[in-house]
Amino acid sequence: MRIALKDFTKKFDGVPVIDRMNLEIRDGEMLALLGPSGCGKSTTLLAISGIHRIDGGQILFGDDDISGLPSQKRNVGVVFQNYALYPHMTAFENIAFPLQVRRTEKKEIEARVQEIAELTHIAPYLKRKPGQLSGGQQQRVALARALVRKPGVLLLDEPLANLDAALRLEMRSEIRRIQLETGITAILVTHDQVEAMSMADRIAIMDKGEILQVSPPDEMYRRPTNRFVASFMGNPP
Ligand code: ADP
Ligand code: MG
201 CB contacts (<8 Å, ≥6 apart)? 26, 29, 30, 31, 216
Tell me the pLDDT of the chain averaged across its residues: 95
Share of the chain above pLDDT 90, in %: 90
Smallest Cα–Cα separation from 26: which of 61, 67, 53, 59? 61
pLDDT of residue 181: 96
pLDDT at 2: 97
Amino acid at 144: A
Kindly report the protein residue whose alpha carbon is nearest to atom 5 of ligand 1: 40
Tens-place pLDDT, residues 183-232: 999 999 999 999 999 999 999 999 999 999 999 999 998 999 999 999 98
What's the pTM? Answer: 0.96
Q: Work out which ligand 1 atom sits closest to the CA atom of 39.
A: 3
Q: With bands split at pLDDT 50, 70 and 90, how would you rate the model's confidence at 235?
A: confident
CB 186 within 8 A of CB 155: yes
Beta strands in 56-121 (DSSP E): 56-61, 64-65, 76-79
**What is the distance between the alpha carbons of residues 146 and 140, in angstroms, rounded to a whole number?**
10
Q: Ligand 1 site: residues with CB under 6 angstroms?
A: 12, 17, 35, 37-43
Residue 237 has pLDDT above 80, yes or no: no
Mutating to test ligand 1, I would choose from 5, 12, 206, 210 the residue with most ligand atoms within 8 A of its C-beta, which is 12
**What angle in degrees, to the nearest 10, is found between the helix axes of 106-119 and 91-100?**
130
